[in-house]
């Protein structure tokens, strides 16, 4: 793998997300999230597949910015990002239900990316929750994440393990 494409993707995503912030109390820079997703894939999932890592850096650009699929880096990356991108023209509940249904039919690359994304979101929910999310909403997010990931399991043992640990820690934090 050449780091050049991954660095290009991170720079592209940083530019596209430059005005966005996460929902935590500190309003963390949004770009931290795609970088964390790529890092979870590489470190905890032992993923060396450049396409997955580049797609991780870009996975929210089309969904959350004015980016088009045509702007992304190459056909394989574009196809993978397309596979994990929600259709924002649909209602929130419909999008959530579609994620659960589509997870099991996703490619193994998309499943790994989806698990890593959920790991990062759950960790953020545990350590830096959105300031306006009550415990009930956080608990609902955890349940929904488990449903999505259930359709993605058994493609990467390291990611499955990291997800299970993140869920366990999140549930403990909610009970505390």
- How far apart, in whole angstroms, are the C-alpha atoms of residue 27 and residue 2? 32
Query: Is residue 64 annotated as a catalytic residue, yes or no?
Result: yes
Q: What percent of the chain has pLDDT over 90?
A: 90
Active site residue 44: no
Mean pLDDT rounded to a whole number for the chain: 95
Cα–Cα distance for residue pair 138/86, rounded to 1 Å: 20
Please tell me the pTM assigned to this model. 0.95
The highest-level CATH class for domain 3-175 is mainly alpha
Determine which one of 24, 49, 63, 71 is catalytic: 63
In this prediction, residue 7 carries a pLDDT of 95
Sole residue written with tokens 């449903």 = 147
Domain segments of the chain as ranges: 3-175
Res 2: pLDDT: 67
User: What's the rounded mean pLDDT across residues 91-109?
Assistant: 95
Say how far residue 72 (Cα) sits from the centre of its chain.
Answer: 17
pLDDT band at 175 (very low <50, low <70, confident <90, very high): confident
∠ at Cα 64 (46, 28), nearest 5°?
A: 70
pLDDT reading at 1 higher than 70: no
Quick one: average pLDDT of 163-168?
A: 98
Q: What is the mean pLDDT of residues 72-99?
A: 94
Q: What is the pLDDT of residues 115-132, one digit of tens each?
A: 999 999 999 999 999 989
- Of 64, 76, 86, 160, which one is the catalytic site residue? 64
Residue 23 is classified by DSSP as: S
123's tokens: 């960790």
3-56 residue pLDDT tens? 899 999 999 999 999 999 998 888 899 999 999 999 999 999 999 999 999 999
């Amino acid at each position: 793998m050449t780091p050049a494409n991954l660095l290009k993707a991170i720079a592209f995503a940083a530019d596209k997300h430059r005005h966005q912030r996460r929902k935590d109390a500190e309003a963390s820079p949004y770009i931290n999230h795609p970088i964390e997703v790529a890092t979870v894939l590489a470190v905890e999932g032992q993923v060396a597949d450049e396409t997955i890592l580049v797609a991780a850096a870009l996975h929210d650009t089309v969904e959350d910015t004015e980016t088009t699929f045509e702007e992304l880096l190459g056909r394989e990356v574009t196809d993978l990002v397309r596979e994990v991108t929600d259709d924002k023209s649909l209602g929130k509940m419909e999008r959530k239900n579609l994620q659960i249904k589509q997870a099991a039919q996703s490619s193994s690359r998309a499943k790994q990316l989806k698990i890593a994304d959920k790991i990062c979101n759950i960790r953020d929910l545990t350590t830096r929750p959105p300031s306006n999310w009550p415990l009930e909403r956080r608990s609902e997010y955890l349940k929904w994440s488990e449903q999505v990931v259930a359709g993605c399991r058994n493609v990467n043992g390291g990611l499955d393990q990291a997800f299970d640990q993140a869920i366990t820690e999140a549930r403990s934090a909610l009970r505390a």
